[in-house]
Structure 1
Amino acid sequence: MNYRVNPRNNDKLSILGFGCMRFAKDEKEVEKQIIYAIENGVNYFDTAYIYPNSEVILGRVLAKGYRERVKVATKMPPYFIKTYEDLDKVFNEELRRLQTDYIDYYFIHMLTDINIWSRLVEIGILKWIDEKKKKGQIINIGFSYHGGREEFIKLIDIYDWEFCMIQYNYLDENNQAGKNGLEYATSKGLPVMIMEPLRGGRLVTSLPKEVYQVFENAHAKRSPAEWALRWIWNHPEVTTVLSGMNSQEMIEENIKAASEVRANSFTEQDFELFKKVRQILNEKIQIPCTGCNYCLPCPKGVDIPTCFSCYNDRIIEGKIMAVGKYIMNTSLKTKANNASLCSKCGICEKHCPQKISIREELSKVTKSMEGFYYKPARFFIKRFMKL
């Protein structure tokens, strides 16, 4: 197993992290898988308050003599926090489930914008974090993020975080926080954890047949999953890549790859391979947005690149998943930035290097992604999350 060092505290973290959201159904099998992973060098385990039974199962396994051999990461959902007392209520429940008295890497889960953080600050989270760190109950504090690049950078700068987590893969190099966000966080001295390296497996199971053919004919015999992971690990800015491993075969394949790879080791052939893959995917993408952000800021606040990214995701994700991601990334904020806010002023089009008819394309996004279900779903979710 290869490791990368957290520059903040010199923790040696396995470059392969065990994502605990998608455990196998058989708990005995899960226990075998977790122990096998630990015995073969995986030392970073990521769970969350809202992952069904995940913290409980992980806690049971680690209590059998493995807790001190690993770093545990879990998350606090901001939408469950209405009062100062709720902070302890959620956190203490997580400690109970995990059968531990401290969390190595504690996330504010899915921090969508600065306003959500400001609400937590008003409740008193800064004092709470300080108390937990002084008691040794929280070792490192960070946040996980889905959304556009600009908001991500603002969140990085608003507080002295100790780590962060973003979605990143070869399809999202210029989407969400993207490569620029990854590099910005690293420039601030933050270790960066990566989620969704395979888009929930869809970069393995839902690719166009032409892409599978490229991987099949590659100069090295590797699965689409291994190629995707190696692409991320080639980035020296990445600390740990989470994989939602739920089979022994998957764990063994990923551990083998994580024991071989090195940052900045891609050859010209490797880069050419992904160039071909992107060419195929780009031909199927309906809006040729590169996520350069030259179209921003929009006078009405529309996050144009994120809207286009979610719309294009229908190719890989399917419409239902893409719409869900669209609502999460553009609408679950104190101030939404979805496509229908466009006033058709046209300012954005003057700055677009790709010469995209942005107003016309945003109309297509609105029609496709904001159907009859959109407003009721957004209203009830935002009300539940107190946004």
Structure 2
Amino acid sequence: MLTRINQKNEEELSILGFGCMRFPTKGGSIDEPRAISLIHDSIEKGVNYFDTAYIYPGSETLVGKALLGGYRERVKIATKLPPYMVKKLDQGKKIFQTQLERLQTNYIDYYLLHMLTDKNMFDRMVSIGVLEWMEELKREGMIKNIGFSFHGGKRDFEDIVKAYPWDFCQIQYNYLDENNQATKSGLQLAASLGIPVIVMEPLRGGKLVNNLPEEVKTTFHDCNPDLTPVEWALRWIWNHKEVNVVLSGMSDEEQVAENIRIAGDAYANSLNQEELKVFDKVKQVMLEKTKVPCTACGYCMPCPYGVNIPGCFSCYNDKYLLNDRMMRWKYMQTLGTLSVQPANASMCKECGKCELHCPQHIAIREELKKVAKEMEGILYKPMVGVVRRFLRIK
């Protein structure tokens, strides 16, 4: 297992981290003996970074059980505070105490604000004292590192990563998302600021393995038939020297074995020119299948009416490119229910300001109409309203 050094604290972290959201299940709940066995096996083979969250059903409790018997001291635990569930500081404190109890530990190595989607969400955490409280926990040794995970647009990522002296950050990054969300420039920005980067969704929840267009599979195979789509995808990310850890939500023994094997020699800057050209071909195939040629540059933002234009196009494209049946839910989640303010396509008032700044010359107003028709439907707004009321998001 290769490791990379955390530039902030000099800790040696395994380049493969265990994402604890997709444990094997049995009878509708986590298969506890099997999941614990997977965790123990991965630790014995060098994995030392485990990522869970308050909202992952049963995950923190399972991780706590798995790390008894001396394993806790051998690993770093990362878990997350959900901002959308924290309206007052006392709620955050209660959640943190629950997490310590679930994990059966008295400190968290890497503690994140979970799923920031925009700068406003971060600002709200600051305004109610969450960051100040986390700093106090850090001084007391109950938190070792303060960070955030991100699911928003490039401009918001840049604003958030510059707004605080973060100990680390976590972004979605893979060869399909090089120009989505935080983007490659965001990765490089964080690294330039000395902020370690943890990468999530390296396989897009398996979509870059199971839902690839046949042309992409053929392109990979023609270059090297011995490499699987998993290996191509992971090696592309690890080729970036700016990446410290790549999280993989491993749910069976085969996945653990394959990922650990790949992580044994996936050095930064190790892909040759021929292999890099393969990714250029793959991305060209995907671009041809993309509905809207948006690069998420963010020049169209901010929308005066609150539409997250790049986010809308990203969800719309992925629904077709990867045949993702869950994309309508993800669209509602990131652009409606969990964002500080709804930012969905039907909020567009057709002012046209965005189109004046789009370097791709996209007919944004017309495309947003298509997105709204395809991704929202008649029940969208009522469902968003119900969920936001349930989560007490104003």
Which TM class, normalised by the smaller chain length? over 0.9
- TM score, norm. by length of structure 1: 0.95
Question: Which of 143, 148, 159 matches 1:138?
Answer: 143
Quickly say closer, same or farther: Cα 1:386–1:115, change in 2 above 3 A. Answer: farther
Residue equivalent to 2:21: 21
Residue 216 of structure 1 aligns to which amino acid in structure 2?
H
Instruction: Report the secondary structure of 1:110's partner residue.
Output: strand
Q: Which has the higher mean CA deviation after the structures are superposed, 122-131 or 10-19?
A: 122-131
Match runs of 1:310-349 below 5 Å:
310-318=315-323, 320-331=325-336, 332-349=338-355
Q: How far apart are 1:277 and its partner, in Å? A: 1.2
Instruction: Report the secondary structure of 2:116's partner residue.
Output: coil
Instruction: Report the secondary structure of 2:223's partner residue.
Output: coil
Match runs of 1:165-176 below 5 Å:
165-176=170-181
Q: How far apart are 1:181 and its partner, in Å? A: 1.4
Q: How far apart are 1:317 and its partner, in Å? A: 4.6
Residue 7 of structure 2 aligns to which amino acid in structure 1?
P
Structure 2 segments unaligned to the other structure (5+ residues)? 26-30
Residues 1:375 and 2:369 are matched in the alignment? no
Instruction: Report the secondary structure of 2:326's partner residue.
Output: helix
Quickly say closer, same or farther: Cα 1:352–1:130, change in 2 above 3 A. Answer: closer
Residue equivalent to 2:298: 293
Instruction: Report the secondary structure of 1:277's partner residue.
Output: helix
Q: Distance in 2 between matches of 1:323 and 1:317?
A: 13
Contact 1:16 1:42 in 2 (8 A): yes
Quickly say closer, same or farther: Cα 1:348–1:124, change in 2 above 3 A. Answer: closer
Deviations along 1:139-191, whole A, 9 cap, x unmatched?
00111111111111111122222111111111111011111211111122111
Instruction: Report the secondary structure of 1:260's partner residue.
Output: coil
Q: Distance in 1 between matches of 2:347 and 2:133?
A: 37
Q: Distance in 1 between matches of 2:48 and 2:340?
A: 36
Contact 1:203 1:316 in 2 (8 A): no
Residue equivalent to 1:9: 9
Residue equivalent to 1:72: 77
Residue equivalent to 1:52: 57
Residue equivalent to 2:28: none
Residue 13 of structure 1 aligns to which amino acid in structure 2?
L
Residue equivalent to 2:117: 112
Contact 1:300 1:343 in 2 (8 A): yes
Residue equivalent to 1:351: 357
Q: Distance in 2 between matches of 1:168 and 1:15?
A: 14
Deviations along 1:228-283, whole A, 9 cap, x unmatched?
01111111111110001111111111111111111112111111111121122111
Moved over 3 A (4+): 316-320
Q: Distance in 2 between matches of 1:189 and 1:367?
A: 43
Residue 46 of structure 2 aligns to which amino acid in structure 1?
G
Q: Which has the higher mean CA deviation after the structures are superposed, 230-239 or 215-224?
A: 215-224
Contact 2:211 2:323 in 1 (8 A): no
Q: Distance in 2 between matches of 1:348 and 1:112?
A: 20
Q: Which has the higher mean CA deviation after the structures are superposed, 35-44 or 352-361?
A: 352-361
Aligned length: 387
Instruction: Report the secondary structure of 2:281's partner residue.
Output: helix
Q: Distance in 2 between matches of 1:329 and 1:290?
A: 18
Residue equivalent to 1:309: 314
- Identity level (%): 54
Contact 1:219 1:269 in 2 (8 A): no
Contact 1:73 1:103 in 2 (8 A): yes
Q: How far apart are 1:295 and its partner, in Å? A: 2.6
Q: Which has the higher mean CA deviation after the structures are superposed, 187-196 or 371-380?
A: 371-380
Structure 1 segments unaligned to the other structure (5+ residues)? none
- TM score, norm. by length of structure 2: 0.94
Deviations along 1:300-357, whole A, 9 cap, x unmatched?
3322222111110112454642222222332332233322222222233233332222
Residue equivalent to 1:250: 255
